[in-house]
Structure 1
Amino acid sequence: MAEVATSGTSSATSDQLLVVIDPVARRADGESVRIARDVLRAGAAGAKVCLPDGPEEFARALARRGSRRPVVVGDDRALVRAVELLHRQRELAGCALSLVPVGGSVSLARALGVPSGAVAAARAVLDGAERRMDLMVDDSDGVVLGALRIPPLGAVSPERDAADGVAHPWLRTCRSLVRTLAPARPPAAPGSGPTRLRVEVDGETLVDLHQSVEAVSVVPGASGTAHVEVRPSSVGAEASPLSAEARTITVSGAHFRYRADAAVSGPVRTRTWEVREGAWGLTVPSR
C-alpha cells in the first residue's frame, strides 16, 4: 500500500484526515480522484493519503487511522465496506465517515445526501456536518445502509467482480473466451418465479410459507425502523402488497439470495436484520 506524505498547508478546519482511495476508483476515474485529493490536501492541515491495492490493505488503513477522520474516495461498495469494517471493529459509533463518490455505482451515496461531483463532495468533507443514520445489521454481522431486496427465485445472480466495469478490453476478451470454453454451470436455483418465504416483523408473521411471494423489499422507514413490503404472487387479479414498519425482520424458507445496497449475498435459508438507530455518521453538506 502506497502512502503519500501529509500536507502541511494551513486550513480552515482543524480535522486530521485519512484519505483512503479505493483502487477501483483509481482505475475508473483517475482525474476525479486527483481533483478530490488536491482539494482535500489543500483544505485540511496534515491530510494523509493512502492508496491501498486491495481489500486487505483498505482494512489495514482504516484500522491504523488513529485519531484521523476517515475519508473514502470510491463508489458505493467502498462506502459499505468501510462501514462494515468499522462496525466489526466496534468503532462505528464514535467515527464519522466522509465520502467522495468516484466509480461505477454511486446511487447510494447520492441517496444518502453526498454530492456527486468530486469538488462539491470534497468541500462537503471539509465544511459539512455529521448526520447520524440508521443501520441494518444482520445475524452474520453484515450491514445494510440503504435498501434490501429479495427478488423472485432465480432472478438474482451472484455479484460480478467489482473491477469488471473498468477491466481492460483484452482482459474482458480473455474472460469471454474462458466462459465459452468452460462447461456450462448448472442453474443456481430450479427455475424462476414466485417462491415461498416466511417474513416475520418484530416477532409477528407478515406472510407465511403457504403464500408464495414475488418479492420482498426493506427500505429505511421512520427513525429506528424499516419499511417492509411483501408482494404476494397472484393468479388473475393483482394481489395487494403487505407492509409493516419494524425494527427486526426475519426471512426464512427456501434458499434465497438478496441484494443489499450494491452487493448480492446468499443463498441462505434464513436471515435476520435488526435496525440500529443512529448507528453511524456520514458527513454531508451543511444546510
Structure 2
Amino acid sequence: MATFATSDQLLVIIDPAAPQTDGESVRIAKDVLSAGATTKVCLPDSPEEFARALGRRGSRRPVVVGDDRALVRAVTLLHRHRELAGCALSVVPVGGAALAESLGVPAGAVAAARAVLDGAERRLDLLVDDSDGVVLGTLGIPSAPVRAAAAAAEPVGVPSGHPWLRTTYRSLVRTLAPRPARLSAVPAPGPARLRVEVDGATVVDLDQPVEAVSVTPGSCGIAEVEVRPLSLGAEATPLLARGRTVTVIGSDFRYRADAQVSGPVRRRTWTVREAAWALTLPAHA
C-alpha cells in the first residue's frame, strides 16, 4: 500500500444530501481534514455540480463526504472518464455507509477523516458490466423488495390544539390538494429462471428456477459467484463458482448493484477488473 503525507492537498467534495443527513458529522470532517492538510472544500448543489467538482480536481486528492451512493457515483464518474486507475479516492461516510464500512472505511467522522490523512492507498477489484456500470461490493439478483408507504403522509402545518381543528384542517388540505397515486408494498421478487455462466461454463440453466444469485469481486481478478436454487423442501445447497466473467440471461430481470437497482434487462455480463481502483484506508487495515 502507498502511504500519504498529511501535506497533500485535498479536494473535499460534500455530497448535497450529507449536510441534511448529519450536519454535525460534516462539520467535524471538515475541521479534522482542514487541521491536517491543505483543503479546498466544495459544496455542490446537484449531482451535475458534484461531477464538475470531481472533474476539476487537478492534482488534489478527492475526498467524498457522503453516503454509499456518493462513493459509487464518484467511482462511476472516474471510470467512465477513464481516470479511475490514476486517482486514489477517500471517503468520510455520512449517512448509509454499509458498503464503505465493508470495504474497510472506519465508521465515524473523526476516525474516517484521520484515515484520509494518515492512511494508505489500497487497490481493489471492480466489477464492470457491458453497459459501463460498476459494482464495488455485491451484485444481487433478483433485486431486494422495495416497500412504499401505504398511508398518506401528515399534511405540513397541521395546527396543534383542539382535535376538531386538526380534523377540519386535514379535511380542507386533502380536498384542495391533488390526489396522490395510491402507494402500496411492492411484492418481493419470486423465483427467477436464469442462465448463469461463469467464464463461459453454465452454472445453472433456464430449466432450474433460482431464488437468488450473488456476485462479489474477490481478489486477484476473480469473482465469487453463489447461486441458490429454488428449494421445495430441505434447503437447497448453493452452487458456487469462481471466474473473471459472469453472464446472466433471463426474462426481464432486475439486479441490485451496491445501493442501486437496475433493469429490467434480458442479458448482462460483468467482468472483473483487477486492482482497478484505489481507496484510502487505515494503514493497519
TM-score, with normalisation over the residues of structure 1? 0.83
Q: What SS is found at the alignment partner of 1:181?
A: coil
Q: How far is 1:184 from its partner?
A: 4.8
For residues 85-164 of structure 1, what are the structure 2 equivalents within 5 Å?
Answer: 85-103=77-95, 105-151=96-142, 156-157=145-146
Stretches of structure 2 lacking an aligned partner (at least 5 in a row): 158-169
Structure 2 counterpart of 1:274, which letter? T
Structure 2 counterpart of 1:112, which letter? L
Aligned to 2:204: 207
Aligned to 1:273: 270
Structure 2 counterpart of 1:25, which letter? A
Kindly tell me the number of residue pairs found equivalent between the two proteins. Answer: 260
Stretches of structure 1 lacking an aligned partner (at least 5 in a row): 1-11, 161-167
Aligned to 2:19: 26
Q: How far is 1:169 from its partner?
A: 8.4
State how far apart, in whole Å, the 2-side matches of 1:197 and 1:80 are.
27
1:217 matched to 2:214: yes
State how far apart, in whole Å, the 2-side matches of 1:257 and 1:41 are.
42
Q: How far is 1:75 from its partner?
A: 0.6
Identity among equivalent pairs (%):
71
Aligned to 2:179: 181
Counterpart selection for 1:37 from 30, 34, 42 = 30
Aligned to 1:3: none
Q: How far is 1:77 from its partner?
A: 0.5
State how far apart, in whole Å, the 2-side matches of 1:50 and 1:218 are.
35
Deviations along 1:122-154, one digit per CA (max 9) or x if unpaired, are 1110110000000000111111000111137xx
Structure 2 counterpart of 1:24, which letter? A
What CA RMSD, in Å, does the superposition of the two structures yield over aligned residues?
2.8
1:197 matched to 2:194: yes
Q: Is the 8 A contact 2:148 2:186 kept in 1?
A: no
Aligned to 2:244: 247
Structure 1 counterpart of 2:132, which letter? D
Q: How far is 1:254 from its partner?
A: 1.1
Q: How far is 1:204 from its partner?
A: 0.8
Aligned to 1:15: 8
Q: How far is 1:238 from its partner?
A: 2.8
Query: Closer, same or farther in 2 for the Cα pair 1:26/1:201, shift >3 Å?
Result: same
Q: Is the 8 A contact 1:156 1:264 kept in 2?
A: no
Q: Is the 8 A contact 1:158 1:264 kept in 2?
A: no
Q: How far is 1:187 from its partner?
A: 10
State how far apart, in whole Å, the 2-side matches of 1:159 and 1:242 are.
33
State how far apart, in whole Å, the 1-side matches of 2:142 and 2:265 are.
14
Larger Rg: 2
Query: Closer, same or farther in 2 for the Cα pair 1:215/1:169, shift >3 Å?
Result: farther
1:286 matched to 2:275: no
Q: Is the 8 A contact 1:159 1:264 kept in 2?
A: no
1:262 matched to 2:259: yes
Q: How far is 1:263 from its partner?
A: 1.3
Aligned to 1:9: none
Aligned to 1:78: 70
Query: Closer, same or farther in 2 for the Cα pair 1:39/1:262, shift >3 Å?
Result: same
Q: Is the 8 A contact 2:125 2:218 kept in 1?
A: no
Q: Is the 8 A contact 2:193 2:207 kept in 1?
A: yes
